[in-house]
């Protein structure tokens, strides 16, 4: 029985790279989705707003694992073939989109009413208002929380292991099957995750403090 | 079979909520303590849990316990892992709650002769919980959703059972849509339960209708 | 009704509070620079002075809410600078009433008052309730036993806070600007309670801006200025100040 050695560590690090890749996909896809959802939520048309609201409620009320299974088992049953990566990326996009959508909606609505009015009085169209005046300000207040949520994204990619995606967690499981040193293996896995997540946590907290200081001057 | 799974999910959530709350409260007290090693230990605990995936934590508990010779049922392992996890997040929430209690309350209580532990129990705990109650209930509902992950160590809770069913019935979409609705229902049930609990433990709010 | 107190066994027991050469700094900021005064049993001592003169700090030092950097403080036989000091024993002998009342908002007035007697003195629920009712009667709030603090006016809350301190039967009560946060109309009811306590022979140390009240009840007036005891004497110093600083201060207050 091989003991945990350098080759195993390399295998784990490869898995970690895939974790980062999946996180990036989730961030980009979910980010785009979130932006769309947030804009729908603040739209004037109550139908659009309602659909977005329902989307958020459903996705937030269901475990991510279930969404993953829907993507991995459900889509093929409907005739759409998916690889583990595709299923995982799609599921995470849906999931991240809902959380970002809700969070960014809050940030947009937190921009003072006076800003909206000032932009209107400058004869900007509603699209220009949104993208040139409101969103830049919303980004400022939303950044700490968004960075904080990135920690959640990285952690939740571990669920992709349940749909056979070879991320860091799955790599750990595979190694465990050959070395039978589970505690050591998963401790290393945990440490790698920690090294990925902790800097993001610290950054998020620092951004929050800086924002609190900055706001006092406003 | 799905109903059995739902019951297991509820049981996991309920037990872990209670135990996790106790641990989280002690963790928050520990972080505020004057003993530096205790404060550092609690902070380390919270950071370790918050920066690692729950699935990995479950595996560590599962394999860790078996490596020291303890063989427990999957449900027990799940409860332990869930408790450790939610304890860290609850600790953060309770710490914020404790900070909302003014220093003047502490001074008044200590000047009446109460010990530190008595001040926590009689003066700080209930107002703190009342102030962070929404955060706490959200956290515990998230806990219930996270219990789905314990299906990965073969706990027969809702998601685990659903996975089995869809495997043998070849109807994944229906199965998962149904359990999606069931999780929804469970969340509503938990919200109702927390509302009832609030009526009991916050007599002031019940009588006066105001927030603290 | 002047009852002569029986002669004490030891000569020191007349002085229930003693401060000697007390120094206290917060970081670089020196707030108390050599404060000395003492309070006799049954006496009312009033600390007056501008904000920043250190009077509140000196008061808080008496109940060990602040630790002194240098000097000697003795309260009811407890030496506060002693590292072996039993803080809870001290707090049983000293009661303090704060400017912002600090009532516990999640407990009724009755529960507020009963908390310490039950938890610290281990009275039964019935005994504590009895004690609480008596304390409330003393401050004229008997009907508020089951009310919550937010249902009371500021003056009533402060009287309830006084009742809470009295329920522990302290040997000396400290009052830290207890009327400063109140509307002028509500000040009177609180001062009347304090006056009655003084008549009953309670030893008190008060920080206040109410000069007329001080004139009425003070046995000793301590005027503090820039962290030192600038002038000290009976209530007559308020009418015949010896130092210029006290004269200026009194002129401002009127």
Is the residue at C3 inside a domain?
no
Residue bearing tokens 């959530």 = B13
Which chain B positions have a beta carbon within 8 Å of C148's beta carbon? 204, 207-208
Which chain B positions have a beta carbon within 8 Å of C119's beta carbon? 114, 118, 122
Question: In this complex, do A69 and B172 lie within 8 Å of one another by their Cβ atoms?
Answer: yes
CA C133 to centroid of chain Cα atoms: 22
Could you give the C-alpha distances from C131 to A66, B105, C105, in angstroms and in order? 60, 22, 20
Mean pLDDT over the full length of chain B = 89
Quick: pLDDT tens for A77-119.
777 788 888 889 999 999 999 999 998 888 888 888 888 888 8
Whether C221 has its CB under 8 Å from any CB of chain B: the answer is no
Q: Report the residue of chain C nearest B111, measured CA to CA.
A: C91
What pLDDT was estimated at residue C173?
94
How far apart, in whole angstroms, are the C-alpha atoms of residue C229 and residue C236?
A: 17
Which CATH number is A9-217 given? 1.10.3720.10
User: Band of the pLDDT at B212, cuts 50, 70, 90?
Assistant: low
Quick: pLDDT tens for C16-47.
899 999 999 998 889 999 899 999 999 999 99
- 3-class state of residue C97 by DSSP: strand
What pLDDT was estimated at residue A215?
57
How far apart, in whole angstroms, are the C-alpha atoms of residue C27 and residue C239?
A: 37
Domain B2-208 annotated CATH 3.30.1600.10: no
Whether C109 has its CB under 8 Å from any CB of chain B: the answer is no
Question: In this complex, do A77 and B64 lie within 8 Å of one another by their Cβ atoms?
Answer: no
Which chain B positions have a beta carbon within 8 Å of C100's beta carbon? 104
Whether B154 has its CB under 8 Å from any CB of chain C: the answer is no
Q: Report the residue of chain B nearest A72, measured CA to CA.
A: B172
What pLDDT was estimated at residue A117?
83
Greater confidence (B2 vs C64) lies with C64
Q: Which of C100, C120, C161 sits opposite B113 (nearest CB)?
A: C120
Q: Does C89 score more than 60 pLDDT?
A: yes
What pLDDT was estimated at residue C103?
92
Whether B50 has its CB under 8 Å from any CB of chain C: the answer is no
Using alpha carbons only, give the angle C143, B105, B103 rounded to the nearest 5 degrees.
155
Average pLDDT of the segment spanning A47-56: 90
Q: What does residue B4 show for φ and ψ, rounded to 5 degrees?
A: -60, -45
How far apart, in whole angstroms, are the C-alpha atoms of residue B137 and residue B131?
A: 12
Return the CATH number at C159. 3.40.50.300
Domain ranges of chain A: 9-217
- Per the DSSP assignment, residues forming a β-bridge with C38 are C18
Whether B60 has its CB under 8 Å from any CB of chain C: the answer is no
How far apart, in whole angstroms, are the C-alpha atoms of residue C65 and residue C59?
A: 9
- 3-class state of residue B135 by DSSP: helix
Strands C78-79 and C94-97: unpaired
Rounded to the nearest angstrom, the minimum Cα separation between A145 and chain B is 15
Q: Which of A78, A172, A198 sits opposite B51 (nearest CB)?
A: A198
What pLDDT was estimated at residue C254?
62
Least confident of A43-57, B154-168, C153-167: B154-168
Which chain B positions have a beta carbon within 8 Å of A74's beta carbon? 172-173, 176
Question: In this complex, do C102 and B204 lie within 8 Å of one another by their Cβ atoms?
Answer: no
Mean pLDDT over the full length of chain C = 88
Average pLDDT of the segment spanning B38-64: 92
Q: Which of B51, B55, B67 sits opposite A159 (nearest CB)?
A: B55
User: Band of the pLDDT at A2, cuts 50, 70, 90?
Assistant: low
In this structure, are residues C224 and C49 in contact, taking their beta carbons and an 8 Å threshold?
yes
Touch of B by C (3+ CB pairs closer than 8 Å): yes
Q: In terms of Cα–Cα distance, which of C210, C245, C239 is closest to C47?
A: C210
Whether B74 has its CB under 8 Å from any CB of chain C: the answer is no
Q: Does the interface ipTM go beyond 0.90?
A: no
Which chain C positions have a beta carbon within 8 Å of B107's beta carbon? 65, 98, 102
Average pLDDT of the segment spanning C161-174: 93
Average pLDDT of the segment spanning B73-101: 91
Average pLDDT of the segment spanning B24-50: 91
What pLDDT was estimated at residue C132?
94
- Measured between alpha carbons, how far apart are the two ends of chain B, in Å? 44
Quick: pLDDT tens for C232-253.
888 888 888 888 888 888 888 7
Mean pLDDT over the full length of chain A = 86
In this structure, are residues B130 and B154 in contact, taking their beta carbons and an 8 Å threshold?
no
Rounded to the nearest angstrom, the minimum Cα separation between C254 and chain B is 31
Q: Report the residue of chain A nearest B48, measured CA to CA.
A: A194
Q: Report the residue of chain B nearest C89, measured CA to CA.
A: B113
DSSP state of B73: -
Question: In this complex, do B107 and C88 lie within 8 Å of one another by their Cβ atoms?
Answer: no
Average pLDDT of the segment spanning C141-168: 93
Which pair of structure tokens corresponds to residue B78?
A: 């799940």
Question: In this complex, do B166 and A156 lie within 8 Å of one another by their Cβ atoms?
Answer: no
Quick: pLDDT tens for C100-130.
989 999 899 999 999 999 999 999 999 999 9
Is the residue at C242 inside a domain?
yes
In this structure, are residues A182 and B56 in contact, taking their beta carbons and an 8 Å threshold?
no
Q: Does B116 score more than 60 pLDDT?
A: yes
Q: Where does chain B have alpha helices with state H?
A: 2-32, 36-50, 54-67, 74-99, 103-111, 116-118, 125-146, 158-169, 172-201, 203-208
Is the residue at C38 inside a domain?
yes
Whether C43 has its CB under 8 Å from any CB of chain B: the answer is no
Q: Does C8 score more than 50 pLDDT?
A: no
What pLDDT was estimated at residue C13?
56
How far apart, in whole angstroms, are the C-alpha atoms of residue B18 and residue B95?
A: 17
Which pair of structure tokens corresponds to residue A69?
A: 């299974």
Whether B117 has its CB under 8 Å from any CB of chain C: the answer is no
> Could you list the residue range(s) of the whole structural domain that residue C188 is in?
12-253
Residue B41, exposed/middle/buried by CB under 10 A (0-12, 13-18, 19+)?
middle
Rounded to the nearest angstrom, the minimum Cα separation between A31 and chain B is 21
Question: In this complex, do B208 and C102 lie within 8 Å of one another by their Cβ atoms?
Answer: no
Outline where DSSP puts E strands in A42-145: none
Least confident of A29-43, A46-60, A204-218, C130-144: A204-218
What pLDDT was estimated at residue A151?
92
Q: Which of B52, B63, B149 sits opposite A183 (nearest CB)?
A: B63
List of chains touching B (3+ CB pairs within 8 A): A, C
What pLDDT was estimated at residue C5?
41
Q: Helix crossing, B36-50 with B2-32: angle to 10°?
A: 150
- Per the DSSP assignment, residues forming a β-bridge with C222 are C47, C232
Quick: pLDDT tens for B66-85.
878 777 888 889 999 999 99
Q: Which of B107, B113, B114 sits opposite C102 (nearest CB)?
A: B107
Q: Which of C91, C105, C107 sits opposite B110 (nearest CB)?
A: C91
């Amino acid at each position: 029985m091989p003991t945990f050695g350098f080759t195993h560590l390399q295998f784990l690090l490869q898995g970690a790279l895939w974790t980062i890749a999946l996180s990036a996909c989730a961030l980009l896809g979910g980010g785009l989705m979130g932006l769309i959802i947030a804009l729908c939520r603040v739209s004037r048309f109550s139908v659009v707003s309602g659909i977005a609201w329902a989307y958020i409620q459903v996705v937030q009320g269901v475990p991510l694992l279930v969404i993953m299974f829907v993507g991995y088992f459900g889509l093929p049953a409907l005739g759409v073939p998916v690889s583990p990566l595709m299923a995982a990326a799609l599921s995470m996009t849906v999931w991240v989109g809902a959380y970002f959508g809700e969070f960014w909606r809050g940030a947009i609505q937190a921009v003072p009413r006076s800003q909206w009015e000032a932009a209107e009085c400058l004869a900007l169209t509603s699209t220009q208002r949104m993208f040139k005046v409101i969103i830049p300000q919303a980004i400022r207040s939303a950044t700490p929380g968004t960075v904080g949520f990135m920690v959640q994204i990285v952690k939740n990619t571990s669920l992709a292991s349940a749909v056979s995606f070879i991320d860091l967690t799955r790599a750990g499981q595979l190694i465990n099957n050959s070395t039978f040193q589970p505690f050591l293996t998963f401790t290393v896995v945990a440490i790698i995750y920690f090294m990925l997540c902790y800097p993001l946590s610290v950054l998020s907290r620092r951004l929050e403090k800086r924002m609190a200081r900055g706001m006092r001057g406003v | 079979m799905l109903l059995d799974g739902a019951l297991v999910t509820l049981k996991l959530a309920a037990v872990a909520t209670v135990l996790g709350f106790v641990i989280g409260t002690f963790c928050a007290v520990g972080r505020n303590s004057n003993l530096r090693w205790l404060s550092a230990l609690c902070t380390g605990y919270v950071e370790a849990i918050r920066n690692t995936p729950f699935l990995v934590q479950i595996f560590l508990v599962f394999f860790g316990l078996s490596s020291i010779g303890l063989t427990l049922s999957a449900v027990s392992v799940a409860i332990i892992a869930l408790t450790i996890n939610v304890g860290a997040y609850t600790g953060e929430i309770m710490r914020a709650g404790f900070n909302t209690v003014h220093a003047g309350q502490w001074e008044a209580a200590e000047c009446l002769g109460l010990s530190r532990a008595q001040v926590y129990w009689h003066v700080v705990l209930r107002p703190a919980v009342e102030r962070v109650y929404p955060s706490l209930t959200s956290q515990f509902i998230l806990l219930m959703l996270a219990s789905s992950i314990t299906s990965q160590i073969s706990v027969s809770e809702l998601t685990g059972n659903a996975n089995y069913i869809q495997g043998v019935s070849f109807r994944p979409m229906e199965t998962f849509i149904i359990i999606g609705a069931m999780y929804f229902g469970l969340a509503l049930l938990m919200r109702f339960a927390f509302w009832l609990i609030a009526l009991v433990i916050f007599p002031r709010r019940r009588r006066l209708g105001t927030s603290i | 009704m002047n009852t002569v107190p029986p002669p004490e066994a030891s000569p020191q027991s007349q002085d229930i509070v003693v401060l000697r050469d007390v120094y206290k700094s917060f970081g670089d900021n020196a707030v108390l620079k050599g404060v000395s005064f003492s309070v006799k049993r049954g006496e009312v001592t009033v600390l007056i002075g501008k904000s920043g003169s250190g009077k509140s700090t000196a008061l808080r030092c008496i109940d060990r809410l602040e630790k002194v950097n240098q000097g000697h403080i003795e309260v009811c036989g407890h030496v506060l600078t002693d590292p072996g000091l039993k803080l809870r024993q001290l707090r049983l002998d000293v009661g303090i009433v704060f400017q912002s009342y600090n009532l516990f908002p999640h407990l009724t007035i009755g529960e507020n008052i009963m908390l310490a007697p039950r938890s610290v003195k281990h009275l039964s629920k019935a005994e504590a309730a009895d004690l609480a009712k008596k304390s409330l009667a003393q401050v004229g709030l008997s009907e508020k036993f089951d009310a919550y603090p937010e249902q009371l006016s500021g003056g009533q809350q402060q009287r309830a806070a006084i009742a809470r301190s009295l329920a522990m039967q302290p040997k000396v009560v400290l009052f830290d600007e207890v009327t400063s946060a109140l509307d002028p109309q509500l000040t009177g009811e609180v001062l009347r309670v304090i006056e009655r306590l003084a008549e009953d022979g309670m030893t008190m140390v008060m920080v206040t801006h109410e000069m007329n009240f001080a004139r009425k009840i003070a046995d000793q007036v301590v005027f503090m200025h820039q962290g030192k005891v600038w002038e000290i004497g009976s209530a007559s110093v308020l009418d015949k100040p010896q130092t210029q600083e006290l004269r200026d201060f009194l002129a401002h207050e009127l």
